[in-house]
Amino acid sequence: MVRWRRILGGLAAALTVASMGTLVSASPASAEPDGPQKVVGGTRATQGEFPFMVRLSMGCGGALYSPTLVLTAAHCVNRTGATTSITATIGVVDLNSTSKVTRRSNYVYRAPGYNGNGKDWALIRLSSPVTGFATLPIATTTAFDSGTFTIAGWGAATEGGGQQRYLLKATVPFVSDSTCNSSSMYNGQIVATDEICAGYTAGGVDTCQGDSGGPMFRRNASNAWIQVGIVSWGDGCARPNKPGVYTQVSYFSSAIASAAASLGG
């Protein structure tokens, strides 16, 4: 089973060199050595469509929580503490674009008590603010934790594939905890309080390796984007009866806001 949906640091760097001619390295301190998660079945996003999307150099995604903070997955980083080893790329759908904005990290906050089973969120503080890009508010109640969600990322387009140059997007439907935990799907592996599932019973559309930490989002009552999930894990990519599993942001909204405040964001 491919659990996490991040590309391993060394592999991500190698793929970046091979496909884009630019080396963006990640030290062992910035990402865990083990752990799996492009958007499978997606279409190319247009420039400016999702201005809050962030690509992280360890092979993960993220979203701008504030001008100085990126919300991502805990399994994309290995500890809370100072680090300058992560590069965030912002403001483009094409990672080769000369108009991309980059920032180095200066601190990582990983969810307290994270042990690989739920609590899969983290904040990365940037060395200086980015301006001119929309941030992505997080859901603070369960009101938006159902319906149809949008997913986006630069991860693999097929299970086991490499990261993509262009940002892809797709939509996936909510899957209830009871259905996702059924014997035909994840057989009790879902942490119902911490996680939310989304995908099609038939498969075909999903996040995949390299999408970890990226947002799952939808429109709120005011038709603005709101983040309801963080790409976390799944059994392979886009397999039948194996929907994507996402951190349920609403459950952690207070903890995320508190951590953000402590980081000055």
- Domain total in the chain: 2
- Verify that 29 and 128 share a domain, yes or no: yes
- Verify that 76 and 25 share a domain, yes or no: yes
**pLDDT at residue 13 tops 70:** no
241 assigned to some structural domain? yes
Cβ-based neighbours of 60, under 8 Å, separated by 6 or more? 6, 7, 31, 72, 73, 76, 210, 211, 212, 213, 214
How far is it, in rounded angstroms, from Cα 38 to Cα 210? Answer: 6
pLDDT tens digit sequence for 131-144: 999 999 999 999 99
Residue numbers of the domain that contains 94: 9-35+51-135+254-262
Residue of 120, 145, 194, 211 with catalytic role: 120
Known catalytic membership, residue 146: no
pLDDT at 9: 45
Tokens of 29: 């301190």
Cα angle 197-154-62, degrees, rounded to a multiple of 5: 65
Give me the long-range contacts of 219-227 (CB less than 8 A, separation at least 24).
220/144, 224/137, 225/50, 225/52, 225/136, 225/137, 225/150, 226/136, 226/137, 226/138, 226/139, 226/144, 227/63, 227/71, 227/136, 227/137, 227/138, 227/139
We report the CATH number of the domain holding residue 94 as: 2.40.10.10
Residue of 66, 212, 232, 250 with catalytic role: 212
- Verify that 23 and 101 share a domain, yes or no: yes
Instruction: Provide the residue count of the chain.
Output: 265
- Verify that 129 and 151 share a domain, yes or no: no
- Verify that 130 and 258 share a domain, yes or no: yes
pLDDT at 8: 53
How far is it, in rounded angstroms, from Cα 134 to Cα 195? Answer: 26
Known catalytic membership, residue 105: no
- Verify that 31 and 87 share a domain, yes or no: yes
- Verify that 220 and 202 share a domain, yes or no: yes
Residue 131 CA, distance from chain mean position: 21
Which helix (H) or strand (E) segment holds residue 249: the answer is: helix 249-262
- Confidence band of 20 (pLDDT split at 50, 70, 90): very low
In three state form, how does the secondary structure of 108-177 look?
A: EEECCCCCCCCCCCEEEEECCCCCCCCCCCECCCHHHCCCEEEEEECCCCCCCCCCCCECEEEEEEEECH
pLDDT mean over 91-117: 97
Known catalytic membership, residue 177: no
- Verify that 20 and 122 share a domain, yes or no: yes
Residue of 75, 85, 194, 211 with catalytic role: 75
Kindly report the backbone phi and psi dihedral angles of residue 221, in degrees, each rounded to the nearest multiple of 5, phi listed first. -65, -20
Which helix (H) or strand (E) segment holds residue 228: the answer is: strand 225-233
- Confidence band of 3 (pLDDT split at 50, 70, 90): low
If phi over 0 gives left and psi between -120 and 50 gives alpha, with beta otherwise, what is residue 118? left
pLDDT tens digit sequence for 53-66: 999 999 999 999 99
- Verify that 87 and 181 share a domain, yes or no: no
- Verify that 105 and 192 share a domain, yes or no: no
